Structure 1
């Protein structure tokens, strides 16, 4: 039995991420998957049946105009995020938009302006910001448990087969390592150390112009971050935050860590924090809280946070000569 104050979700872009997000929404008593949309009607119906969703549309505009939908989760390819988010906001819908929110800083600004103009909640779907391990690690860093932070090391890497029509290698859809997965290690550096003073980046590029692997150094006044994103190499995908009195390591894969360890001298202290569902539940809960409090942004991942991260990504995009 659903809660009387249920928040009704619409979902567009019915691929892998949308399936994972939808399965987590089913775990929340106050969430209902109320409508889904795909340009392929059969795909929309199949997705709706899978998650007991009452409405399936074959156009995004039709879903935008559904008066019963409260918030729309946008999980389409990167290149469409900006226009679809703005259109949803114009139609009076709250929006949770998959990362990266856009392929340019200019579009990111337009999206935030639309949220403010229409007084509707908007958040970039950086689910990692809300998982318990990351929340607790940030608290311990702020308490000075490992002293002053001097280094962040993180990567997001895996080997991907280039398949015909595959989104990762499709330049038209905003493919490549930086925008698809590089935003994760950049996000971690940002939430720990803030805006860097200098950015250095180098890439291995595909013949079509996308980056296959990008290494980044972010220089701060008294710290550095060494980060990498790759779709052509494997990794243990642990993240290490080092300070003057010890270091913290997030379990692999760090962006959805089920725990972490603190190392001080010869001592290792382990902390286990299993995620609820796949971990998307926490960002959905944050959306619900903000909407009920009439907020147009989250204090944990604010409009300003998204804009500042977008500006960092834009600088790297320019340095490696990535054009969409």
Structure 2
């Protein structure tokens, strides 16, 4: 596949995120969406027509054995990620799996081990890692542009109506703030500061034990991260990276920032870096590059990165006593 001009995609789990991803694939000349699958054939067929895709399946397994499909994008609910990723890898497909990889560190390990066993590319779909703004900010931080980073503040919050039900409030599907959106601020802290020495987490939960809002303090040797996730409130969703010689602010919403600002020596420099489409394009292009170069993982978001973040999330899950 190293010299293949176009990469053929299959998508399973045809909800809102899958629609955004499919829209972005249309912007990539080398990408073909060749098959989609849902447990509901009408839904699959409608999705396929919307994105000019020739094949619609009413089972995920049928897509996994389609010889035309090179890589599968898994956008199903969190609780199914592990088993479906492993099945796809067993079937010889490369896999891009939505975050979080799974609801347990143990399953995350199984998924990365399956990638190695079946010699197929596998990556957690942390699209934020491949945003031009985030990549450039991380490079500048690593080159010491704001000195030593000792403070990170980030949140992800929106209001969802619990009375309307849905996946976010279903504990069987891994609902709640931590696993759905809390992984984003934790990701930012991780790529900037690494593995914390101590984690303190507190949540507001509903009667079913789902966390509606979770606040986290991550302590490092010489730094702290102050993080929050909420599905019952709104925020400005800006991220601040503080250092000994200045600070950087990622534009809101920071997880898909189209630019950033650097404040240093009482001067502010504003940088605009628009994303291609919504921004899922950048992680898809990374998948293409890795597949062509016969890599099983990305150097920018490796298996080890996913596992270390999964372990951090699991520690918080235990602290706030999530029921899964």
TM-score category of the 2 structures, normalised to the smaller one: over 0.9
Task: Map 1:113-124 to 2 at 5 A.
Answer: 113-124=113-124
Equivalent residue, structure 1, for 2:16: 16
Instruction: Assess if the C-alpha contact under 8 Å between 2:156 and 2:182 holds in 1.
Output: yes
- What displacement does 1:164 show? 3.6
Question: Distance in 2 between the 1:163 and 1:303 partners?
Answer: 37
Task: Map 1:142-161 to 2 at 5 A.
Answer: 142-161=142-161
Range with greater deviation from structure 2 (309-318 or 264-273): 264-273
Pairwise CA RMSD: 0.9
Question: Distance in 2 between the 1:146 and 1:114 partners?
Answer: 40
Equivalent residue, structure 2, for 1:234: 234
SS in 2 for 1:298: coil
Question: Distance in 1 between the 2:165 and 2:43 partners?
Answer: 18
Listed one character per residue, the Cα deviations across residues 280-316 of structure 1 (whole Å, up to 9, x for unaligned) are 0000000000000000000000000000000000000
Task: Map 1:3-42 to 2 at 5 A.
Answer: 5-42=5-42
Question: Distance in 2 between the 1:4 and 1:107 partners?
Answer: 32
Range with greater deviation from structure 2 (162-171 or 49-58): 162-171
- What displacement does 1:4 show? 6.6
SS in 1 for 2:209: coil
Instruction: Assess if the C-alpha contact under 8 Å between 2:35 and 2:63 holds in 1.
Output: yes
Q: TM-score, normalised by structure 2?
A: 0.98
Gaps of 5+ in 2: none
Q: Kindly indicate whether residue 175 of structure 2 is the aligned counterpart of residue 178 of structure 1.
A: no
Equivalent residue, structure 2, for 1:135: 135
Question: Distance in 1 between the 2:12 and 2:126 partners?
Answer: 17
Task: Map 1:304-315 to 2 at 5 A.
Answer: 304-315=304-315
Question: Distance in 1 between the 2:13 and 2:165 partners?
Answer: 16
SS in 1 for 2:72: strand
Question: Distance in 2 between the 1:116 and 1:139 partners?
Answer: 29
Question: Distance in 2 between the 1:79 and 1:165 partners?
Answer: 17
Equivalent residue, structure 1, for 2:68: 68
- What displacement does 1:5 show? 1.6
SS in 2 for 1:95: strand
- What displacement does 1:68 show? 1.1
- What displacement does 1:323 show? 1.9
Listed one character per residue, the Cα deviations across residues 32-57 of structure 1 (whole Å, up to 9, x for unaligned) are 00000001000000000000001000
- What displacement does 1:163 show? 4.1
Question: Distance in 1 between the 2:235 and 2:279 partners?
Answer: 21
Question: Distance in 2 between the 1:158 and 1:164 partners?
Answer: 15
Listed one character per residue, the Cα deviations across residues 116-173 of structure 1 (whole Å, up to 9, x for unaligned) are 0000000000000000000010011011110000100000011111244411111111
Q: Kindly indicate whether residue 218 of structure 2 is the aligned counterpart of residue 218 of structure 1.
A: yes
Question: Distance in 2 between the 1:28 and 1:213 partners?
Answer: 37
Equivalent residue, structure 2, for 1:264: 264
Instruction: Assess if the C-alpha contact under 8 Å between 2:150 and 2:222 holds in 1.
Output: yes
Q: How many residues align?
A: 322
Listed one character per residue, the Cα deviations across residues 70-128 of structure 1 (whole Å, up to 9, x for unaligned) are 00000000000000000000000000000001000000000001000000000000000
Listed one character per residue, the Cα deviations across residues 217-245 of structure 1 (whole Å, up to 9, x for unaligned) are 11100100000000111100000000000
